Amino acid sequence: MTIKEQLATRLKEAMRARDKAQINVIRQIEAEVQVQSKEPSFTGEIDDDLYLATMQSYVKKMKKARLEYESAGERGADQAAKLTFEIDYLAAWLPAELDETATRELVRAAIAELGVDDVKQAGRVMGHIMKSGAELDGGMVNRLVREELGA
């Protein structure tokens, strides 16, 4: 079953259950996919790869937005909770990111491999790690590289 079909099934179930949170996140992803497919540079098909890329991009944006709402304290708590639900809901389709411990090990290995000991070369280490193919949180990698290099 394709992601589009899975989302359609879940949308029907959510509508029957009157689950507005699920309905909203599914409709948002469908809208994002439609926007991307209408771009002049889009030449592919609307397939699982497009859905995955759209979900990854959307989750990345929502994680950033959630941090902003969380920093607003109680005023942003409701919106942060909504975004947390959306991120967790879409995680079912996304590959799992490495946790902080595994990411730190990857950072240490990259620093040793490249022989870097200066924080001015953090970008070089970041680039090397991000090209590794592992599912990583770029912000966490940046923070850990700087910590390990003593910034």
CB 57 within 8 A of CB 94: no
Structure tokens at 58: 């959307």
Write down the number of H helices and E strands in the chain: 7, 0
Structure tokens at 63: 């994680």
Please tell me whether residues 12 and 85 are part of one structural domain. yes
DSSP code of residue 94: S
Please indicate, yes or no, if residue 82 is contained in any of the structural domains: yes
Please tell me whether residues 86 and 129 are part of one structural domain. no
pLDDT at 151 (0 to 100): 61
Q: One-letter amino acid identity for 89?
A: Y
- pLDDT single digits (tens) 105-145: 989 999 999 888 888 888 889 888 888 777 788 888 889 99
Confidence (pTM): 0.72
The count of structural domains within the chain is: 2
CB 31 within 8 A of CB 13: no
Please indicate, yes or no, if residue 63 is contained in any of the structural domains: yes
Q: CATH code at 49?
A: 1.10.1510.10
Please tell me whether residues 112 and 55 are part of one structural domain. no
- pLDDT single digits (tens) 50-109: 999 899 999 989 999 999 999 998 999 999 999 999 999 999 998 887 888 988 998 999
**What whole-number distance in Å separates Cα of residue 21 and Cα of residue 83?**
10
Please indicate, yes or no, if residue 69 is contained in any of the structural domains: yes
Please tell me whether residues 10 and 75 are part of one structural domain. yes
Average pLDDT of the residues of the chain: 90
Structure tokens at 99: 């946790």
Domain span at residue 57? 3-90
Structure tokens at 126: 């970041």
